[in-house]
Amino acid sequence: MSSGRKCVGCWFSAKKKKKVNIKSLQEIVESYGAELKEIDISKSLENQGPFVAVIHKMTDRMIEAMDGNTVAENNMRDVEKYLSDHPETVVVDPLPSIRKLLDRFETYSMIRDTDLCKRGELHIPTFAYITSRDPTHILEEMAKHDVEFPFVCKKSIAHGSASHKMSIIFNKEGLTDVDPPCVVQTFINHEAQLHKIYVIANKYQVVRRPSLRNFSKESLKDHNTIFFNSHDISSGESSRSKLTTPTDDDVSTALNLKLPAIDALTEELHSKLKMTMYGVDIIASRETGKQYVIDVNVFPGYDGVPDFLHTLVENVMGRLEQKKINGTNGIPISGSPGTVHINCADLDRDAKTVKIPAKTLSEWENGGDIVSSDI
């Protein structure tokens, strides 16, 4: 670059740019003495660099390439070649890790196989991959993988507008609504509360959102399939509806998250994925007394998370400095994740755990955040 400053490249789709304030990102990068350059992936990256770091969300292009779009294939081939030729580049996030999270079945299998789930400290609802509309095939796969009614039907690709279109199927009569290829996942009552874990490198923040209400077992026999868009249910702009309004009893008996398990999960996912920006959706069930991972998302919107761009750039610059000092290849800095707490008085630093008053989360309403902190 003519200025002689280090250059950080970035690429986001037009939709993602509405969430990521490029001007703000540029100002933060410049505050570290570097400059930000938007990448044109229709042109050679080699001719646009060199980049000391690349921050991106290329999931749209990756999916188009997977679907056989030749232009997208060429775009991604060039990006991968540049990153392969320049392994010293800090990447947020590695393309192989993102590919894993684009496939819901592969993601759920990875979560199920974590040490945390094997020890029973965290769970994932039973799930199966469905490739046919044949009810006999669906029932066989459900039986093989212990999937029960009601279940949530989700598209197998975990990105894009189609990935938000889901349904709850209550009985055999509803099997005609299954839309393969998809993942079917046992629905667990969770008092209409979803906990979004927003991870930024070695820190995370928890934001509570509306979710689907409980369904009684008596309703299963005659209940028609419910079609819904998960973005309308649990996004930062969502408000309570008939489908997401809990009863007074649900609110008063809702379970709090067991935060040591969340700490352990983010550490294990860091080890497996080497990713910086991702989100984990978790529910806690009063009926079972367990908490479940129900989805993992690449570079989510971070709605309700203040200054997430500052935290992101701080991490990238820290990795560049770490690489300069000890020659590492710029993978995310390891270590314990940031502890989630409500106020400093609730933080037990010696035990490295968080004490949250039982009343806090039940009183907490839509969009409320818990701030993050380093241990």
Helix residue ranges per DSSP H, the chain: 14-17, 22-30, 59-66, 70-85, 95-102, 104-112, 115-118, 135-144, 230-234, 248-253, 259-273, 308-326, 358-363
Amino acid occupying residue 275: M
Cβ contact 63:102 at 8 Å: yes
Mutual orientation of helices 95-102 and 259-273 as an angle, nearest 10°? 120
Q: Is 114 found in the same domain as 67?
A: no
Cα torsion through 363, 368, 373, 375, rounded to 10: 40
pLDDT of 345: 27
Same domain, 70 and 186: no
Q: What is the average pLDDT score of the chain? A: 84
**Which residue's entry shows tokens 């290829």?**
181
Do 267 and 183 have their domain in common? yes
CATH number reported for the structural domain that contains residue 136 in this entry: 3.30.470.20
The token pair that represents 182 in the structure block: 């998809």
Q: Is the dihedral of CA 324, 95, 57, 11 positive or negative?
A: positive
Q: What is the pLDDT of residues 77-127, one digit of tens each?
A: 999 999 999 999 999 999 999 999 999 999 999 999 999 999 999 999 999
d(CA 41, CA 295): 29
Res. 368: pLDDT tops 60: no
- In this prediction, residues 207-221 reach a mean pLDDT of 88
Q: Which residues pair with 204 in a beta bridge?
A: 199
Regarding whether 113 and 69 lie in a shared domain, the answer is no
* End-to-end Cα, the chain, rounded Å: 38
Please state, as a whole number, how many other Cβ atoms lie within 10 Å of the Cβ of residue 30. Answer: 14
CB count within 10 Å of CB 208 equals: 21
| 256, two tokens | 């709090």
Instruction: Give the tokens for residue 359.
Output: 């009343």
Are 145 and 161 in contact, with CB atoms under 8 Å apart? no
Mean pLDDT over 208-231 rounds to 89
Mean pLDDT value across residues 64-77: 95
Burial class (CB in 10 A: 0-12, 13-18, 19+), 14: exposed
User: What does pTM read for this prediction?
Assistant: 0.85
pLDDT in tens, 1-41: 445 789 999 999 988 988 899 999 999 999 999 999 999 99
Strand, coil or helix: what is 332?
Answer: coil
- Residue 33's pLDDT is 95
Residues 56 and 137 in one domain: no
Residue 326 lies in a domain: no
Residue where a domain terminates, one of 92, 124, 144? 92
Is 145 within the bounds of a domain?
Answer: yes
Question: Which range marks the domain in which residue 44 is found?
Answer: 7-92
122 and 148 fall within a common domain: yes
* Two tokens, residue 173: 């009569």
Rg (CA), the chain: 21
Give the integer Cα–Cα distance in Å for 201 and 203. Answer: 6
Q: Residues 279-325: pLDDT tens digits?
A: 999 999 999 999 999 999 999 999 888 889 999 999 999 999 988 77
pLDDT band, very low/low/confident/very high, at 45 (cuts 50, 70, 90): very high
Element spanning 293, H or E: strand 291-298
Supply the DSSP symbol for 201.
T
Task: Tell me 255's DSSP state.
Answer: P
